[in-house]
Amino acid sequence: MPAGFARDSLALTIGPGTTQTIPAISAHTASPGHGTESLQATHPNQPIATADSTHSGRNGAPVADTEITTAEETTASGADPETAEALTEEPHDRMMIRFPGEWLADFEAHHPGGSRWIGGLLILFTGLCIGRLTARNNLYSVGTCLAIPLYGILLCGIGDGAFLSSCAAPALLALATKNYARSFRNGFGFDAIFRASLYLGLLPLVAPAALPLLLLLPLAVQLFRRTLRELTVALAGVLLPLFVLCYINWGVGGDFAAPLLLFGRLLTCGPLPTPEALLPLPKLLFAGAAVVLGLLSTLFVFADRYAVGTKPRFILLFACITLILACGSLCSPAATAETVTLLAVPVTLLLPFLFVRVRRPIAAPLYAALLAVAVANVILQ
């Protein structure tokens, strides 16, 4: 039979190797089975095959000219139809824009040199921000700027992978901590607590695994003795970045709730990351040593908590809980190497408390060892 027989035709078998094509009755003038019944009455002893397609398939067999959906294809292949329908409703399929963390990764991929300059400036800015917080509030009962170099040492020793994202996420956490501490005052602190919550709300958009750190908001309101009106302002600040992202995604044609669904999928789906998958072994050992030193500093804080004033005590307690939440964020399926750098902020706030209370023969070699390992990691990276 020819490869392209006429539309709405009937294939009539004449002999063992012969097939004759006979035009069928139009569908507008007869029922679908009318032409077949008429031809069967004319040729009662010959089998008739109906062809409804516009083309022939392999070996000249007619192929139906019908549209097959994704669910039907999946069902035909033996898969579950419910699974096929679920595949069409993935959250990332309804995302028309990308998260800020993805924009940072793209910028670093296309401009690696500029990203390193920006990352270096972010390290300097964040270190100065933490140093000003410690000096202004007299966290250690002695005048010291040790937190500024310690932050650079810790971040360079832990940081791996995307350098710009590794510097941006801790900077947001440091700014949030600084403004929460500033809100601890007599009278209302609407501006400080709103800015702090805004930085905290931006943090999961840069590092999705940092979503557990949003629990710092009720902790800050409780520790720094804020009112219900200030809590309302803080909630507005922490929800504003995500609301803006959802609104922009909806405005360009996506689903309004797609970012929320994608957040949930990132945090609940997939295997938990192994330590080897997060960082290379040298950086992993350095990060573990930093966490151990941070926990040891926490013990010193609780043992000598009345050596500092009320506000420094609450700030150090806030840093202790931040360290615990940052460690918890590493247990999320969305955890990456950039998430580990969040540990640098609370450890930087706590570690000088340990250094100023241990003897110099212990503190000096420990500081030198941290500095040497950080420099070696930067050189070998």
138-169 per-position pLDDT tens digit: 899 888 889 999 999 999 888 876 678 889 99
Among candidate residues 90, 87, 68, the one with its CA nearest the CA of residue 79: 87
Q: Between these two residues, 28 and 149, which has the higher pLDDT value?
A: 149
Q: Between these two residues, 307 and 175, which has the higher pLDDT value?
A: 175
Output b/e per residue, 255-266; b: 16+ Cβ within 10 A.
beebbebbbeeb
Instruction: Yes or no: say if 209 and 339 are a contact pair by the CB < 8 Å rule.
Output: yes
Residues 6+ positions from 235 with CB-CB distance below 8 Å: 197, 217
- Report in angstroms the alpha-carbon separations of 145 from 136, 164, 311, 315: 10, 25, 18, 17
User: Stretch 109-132: mean pLDDT, rounded?
Assistant: 91
Residue 91 is predicted with a pLDDT of: 57
Tokens of 302: 């609780």
User: Stretch 81-90: mean pLDDT, rounded?
Assistant: 49
User: Stretch 363-380: mean pLDDT, rounded?
Assistant: 88
- Residues of the chain with pLDDT > 70: what percent? 75
Domain definitions of the chain by residue range: 1-65, 100-380
Q: What is the mean pLDDT of the chain?
A: 79
pLDDT at 133 over 90: yes
pLDDT at 324 over 90: yes
Q: Phi first, then psi: give them for residue 22, nearest 5 degrees.
A: -120, 130
Give the confidence band of 116 by pLDDT, cuts at 50, 70, 90.
Answer: confident
- Nearest 5°: the CA angle 64, 65, 66 is 95
Is beta strand 62-63 parallel, antiparallel or unpaired with respect to 55-56? antiparallel
User: Stretch 44-72: mean pLDDT, rounded?
Assistant: 45
pLDDT at 100 over 80: yes
Picking from 69-73, 212-216, 337-341, which range would have the lowest pLDDT averaged per residue?
69-73
Residue 95 is predicted with a pLDDT of: 74
User: Stretch 344-349: mean pLDDT, rounded?
Assistant: 95
**32-38 long-range contacts, Cβ below 8 Å, gap at least 24?**
35/10, 36/10
pLDDT at 263 over 60: yes
pLDDT at 341 over 50: yes
- Which range of 39-48, 79-88, 239-248, 369-378 scores highest in mean pLDDT? It is 239-248
Give the confidence band of 89 by pLDDT, cuts at 50, 70, 90.
Answer: low
d(CA 171, CA 206): 11
Give the confidence band of 272 by pLDDT, cuts at 50, 70, 90.
Answer: confident
Residue 5 is predicted with a pLDDT of: 43
Residue 63 is predicted with a pLDDT of: 43
Residue 27 is predicted with a pLDDT of: 42
